[in-house]
Structure 1
């Protein structure tokens, strides 16, 4: 009688160990699936952003950039010494960030 009980308890312990390994494997598979899903979502958002940027018309900016070439050399030298290009890029970036933040619902940023 004692051997039969020991054998049944051994089978129950083996079944519990199998269920435990199965639960760990299922959790690991779910974790990998969720991280892959997150990576896929970020990839899709970035590809959408790339497509939207590619569709933008930047001909006006190109015309403004070529206008710098028509200035006399002395003026360009002084603007270069004053780092006007850096200042303009900082200002344009700040305005761009502010416009993007205005698109987020619930943020007003003082305007």
Structure 2
């Protein structure tokens, strides 16, 4: 009689460990699915941003950049030593970022 009870208890413990492993496997699968969905959402958002940026017309900026070639070489050398190109790109990036942040409701940055 004791062996039968021991065998029944062993089956119950085995069933409980099976359901515990099943619950852990379900949680891991759900976690991996949710992280994959999050990565997919970010990837779609970035691909949309890349398409939007590639559709921009930058011909006006190209004509303005070509006017740098008409400056004398001494002036271009001094501007290069002063890192005027880096400074201009930082300023333009900051202004562009501020304009983009102005589009978000609730973010006014003092204006």
TM-score, normalised to structure 2's length? Answer: 0.90
State the SS of the aligned residue for 1:31.
Answer: helix
Superposition RMSD on alpha carbons, in Å? 1.4
- Is 1:85 the counterpart of 2:88? The answer is no
Aligned to 1:103: 103
Change (3 A) 1:81 1:3: closer
What are the ranges of 5 or more consecutive residues in structure 2 without an aligned counterpart?
none
What are the ranges of 5 or more consecutive residues in structure 1 without an aligned counterpart?
none
Structure 2 CA distance, aligned partners of 1:20 and 1:83?
Answer: 63
Question: Which structure 2 residues correspond to residues 61-76 of structure 1 after superposition, within 5 A?
Answer: 61-76=61-76
State the SS of the aligned residue for 1:88.
Answer: helix
Structure 1 CA distance, aligned partners of 2:68 and 2:2?
Answer: 97
Structure 2 CA distance, aligned partners of 1:92 and 1:49?
Answer: 19
Aligned length: 111
Structure 1 CA distance, aligned partners of 2:35 and 2:5?
Answer: 45
Aligned to 2:42: 42
TM-score, normalised to structure 1's length? Answer: 0.90
Deviations 1:61-106 (A, max 9, x none): 1011001112222332332233221221111011011112112221
